Amino acid sequence: MLTFNWKSAHSIRRVLSRFAHPSLGQILRPALLFSLAVLPGPVDQSSRLPATVPATYVGTDGSRGKPKEPSASYPYPVPVPGFSSFGGSCGGDGDSRSSLLDSKGPQFPALFSMSAFSVMGFVKGSWPVVFDYLLERDSLIIVVIAPEGATPVVFRLKGKRGHWQSKVMIPDTLGNKALVAEYAVRAFDDNVGQLGPSHFHIHGIAAGPKAVGSIGIDRVTFLPGKIRPSQGEKAHYTFHSISDFKHAEVDFVRIALGRDGQIVAARVGSKSYGAITKNEQKDGDWNGKIQIDSNSLKAHSAEVQQWLTAPTGQHLIQVRAWWGADDGDWATALSDEFVAVEQ
């Protein structure tokens, strides 16, 4: 965990405004601004440092070390994260957001960049939180966990090139009641001077002792590499649970590569699975059809609407699993493989 001077953030607010968006009563932005620009270094307490272990990417074709990249392009401005990005259903007061997380699980924005995104989920004091990610070059990785009504906690994760699982511990001072929080993840290049987004692959996040066993969901597959729905072809997916969860849901996510190298993602469909038990494996098929409700679609520009509703594109799956408001624990994991929907 990192210490910071709140007053120093003001002088660099304008420079980094594209990377920090106000949320949770304006408490996230100053913490994130300062953590990115004038970090003094880790607190000198080993118990607060992230516990990071190497992980190995292995594709279903046996390839190691380098993930697949989207070949589809996203020519529009890359979205800036914030709670407003989660859609109208995430508005209202803290109770309504808590109810949403209880019934629908952790929430990603409707459209986001993997280099700068936020997840809305529960958090408690003394919780472990694990981030599974892959970096193709050395980068600066900052995580800000901002609970509603409490001071945000700022972490710097291992930024060396490679595939890592980093575990951080939430301070016990946060208490044992599940609070709605924004988990903001930012990946920047490691150059001196003006900061730019780093190419970043997020594989999963798990929060809470019931979800953290590595990442609570693993063995996420999505095949074959391309399908033609007009010919009745479907994609098949599987996932495995390391832990018990009261709810699980699979999201079908359209992806593309932005002009500056960021991977842009947007949910275009989902399927609910109910409860899943430890060591249980689930599977299913996807027909390649786009299913976005009209209200969510209207939140985007006409160009982005056209991109989202196009009958062709590249996709991955994201599995979200959670316990609900009483316990709070949750996990999310993404497939390494992409499925291209063709005419």
Q: What is the per-residue pLDDT across 128-148, written as a single tens digit (0 to 9) for each?
A: 999 999 998 899 999 999 999
Query: What is the chain's length?
Result: 343
pLDDT at 114 over 50: yes
How far apart are alpha carbons 55 and 164 in whole angstroms?
A: 5
For the residues 85-108, what does the mean pLDDT come to?
A: 76
The pLDDT value recorded for residue 89 is 41
Average pLDDT, the chain: 80
Which of 215 and 2 is assigned the larger pLDDT? 215
The pLDDT value recorded for residue 81 is 55
The pLDDT value recorded for residue 34 is 40
- Amino acid type, 158: K
Q: Are strands 179-189 and 139-147 parallel, antiparallel or unpaired?
A: antiparallel
Which of 275 and 39 is assigned the larger pLDDT? 275
How far apart are alpha carbons 51 and 64 in whole angstroms?
A: 23
Percent of the chain with pLDDT over 70: 76
Q: Report DSSP state, residue 216.
A: S
pLDDT confidence band for 76 (50 / 70 / 90): confident
Max mean pLDDT range (9-18, 36-45, 254-263): 254-263
Mapped onto helix, strand or coil, the DSSP state of residue 236 is strand
pLDDT at 158 over 90: yes
The closest alpha carbon to 171, from 203, 119, 127, 141, belongs to 127
pLDDT at 247 over 50: yes
pLDDT at 103 over 50: yes
The pLDDT value recorded for residue 14 is 32
C-beta neighbour count of 52 within 10 angstroms:
17
C-beta neighbour count of 276 within 10 angstroms:
22
pLDDT at 235 over 80: yes
Q: What is the pTM of this model?
A: 0.80
| Cα dihedral 47, 49, 54, 55 sign | positive
For the residues 150-170, what does the mean pLDDT come to?
A: 94
Half-sphere exposure at residue 180, Cβ-oriented, CA atoms within 13 angstroms = 22
Which of 103 and 44 is assigned the larger pLDDT? 103
pLDDT confidence band for 117 (50 / 70 / 90): confident
Q: What is the per-residue pLDDT across 166-221, written as a single tens digit (0 to 9) for each?
A: 999 999 999 999 999 999 999 998 887 877 888 888 899 999 999 987 789 999 99
The pLDDT value recorded for residue 79 is 66
Which of 27-31, 114-118, 313-317 is predicted with the least confidence, judged by mean pLDDT? 27-31
The pLDDT value recorded for residue 167 is 95
How far apart are alpha carbons 141 and 155 in whole angstroms?
A: 9
Structural domain spans, the chain: 6-341
Q: Are strands 247-258 and 73-74 parallel, antiparallel or unpaired?
A: parallel
For the residues 297-320, what does the mean pLDDT come to?
A: 93
Distances (CA, A) of 265 to 146, 191, 334: 23, 26, 11
CB-based contacts of 140, cutoff 8 Å, min separation 6: 36, 156, 159, 187, 188, 189, 190, 195, 198
| Cα dihedral 108, 114, 118, 124 sign | positive
Which of 66 and 144 is assigned the larger pLDDT? 144
Q: What is the per-residue pLDDT across 281-301, written as a single tens digit (0 to 9) for each?
A: 999 999 999 999 888 888 888
pLDDT at 37 over 50: no
Record the tokens describing residue 161, joined without a space.
């090139």
How far apart are alpha carbons 129 and 206 in whole angstroms?
A: 6
